[in-house]
Amino acid sequence: MTDDGDGPGPVQASRIGPLGALFLYSLSVALVGSGPVMLVGAVLAGAGLLIGGVLCTVLCTPLGLVIWFSTSHERENNRRLDAAGVAATAEVTSLTDWDDGESTGVVVGLRVSGPGFRTFESTWKRSHHPALRVGLRLGAVVDPADNLFRVDL
C-alpha cells in the first residue's frame, strides 16, 4: 500500500455483518473450547484423549483467539467508518491475477478520492468478481483522520 502524502498509510476494513460476526465468534468459541473439553473428557473417562487434548489446546486456542480479536477489530473499524466516514470513490486502476497455491484471486489497484482527505492509492486482494474491470468506479467510505477505508462491491 502506498500513500501520496504525509500521515498514516491507508488501511482497508472488511465489512462483517451480524451473521458473519456470529459465525466467526462461534467458531472462535468452538476452537478455544475444544482442547479443554478433550482434556476434561480424557481425565473423566480415562480415554486416550490426553495427547489430542493437549495438542488441540496448544494449536486451536491461539487460532480461536486470533479469529475473535480480528473480528472484534474489523467490527470496530466498521462502526468507526459508519460514524465518522465520508463518502468517497474508489477507481480501479489495475487488475492482477494472483495464485498462492492455496487460493486464487485478483489484486485490485485502487485510487481513492473524495472530499476532506488527500487522494491515495492502495491495493485490495480479493476473489474474482465478474464486474471488476479497470476504470470501474466503486463506492467507498473513508475516515479522513487515518485513511481507514472500506470499498463496497
pLDDT of 90-134, one tens digit each?
A: 999 999 998 888 888 999 999 999 998 999 999 988 888 899 999
> What's the number of CA atoms in the CB half-sphere (13 Å) around residue 34?
17
For residues 150 and 34, give the distance between their C-alpha atoms in angstroms, rounded to a whole number.
34
Rg (Cα) of the chain, in Å, rounded?
21
Q: Per-residue pLDDT for 3 more than 60? A: no
Asked whether residue 146 is assigned to any structural domain, the reply reads: yes
Tell me which residue range forms the domain holding 33. 18-81
Same domain, 55 and 30: yes
Element of type H or E holding 96: strand 86-99
Same domain, 147 and 106: yes
Q: Is the entire prediction scored with pTM above 0.85?
A: no
Q: Assign residue 147 a region (left: φ > 0; alpha: ψ between -120 and 50; beta: otherwise).
A: left
Tell me the three cell numbers of residue 13: 476494513
Asked if residue 93 lies in contact with residue 151, where contact means CB atoms within 8 angstroms, the answer is no
pLDDT of 12-26, one tens digit each?
A: 998 899 999 999 999
Tell me the three cell numbers of residue 84: 465518522
Same domain, 112 and 75: no
Same domain, 77 and 129: no
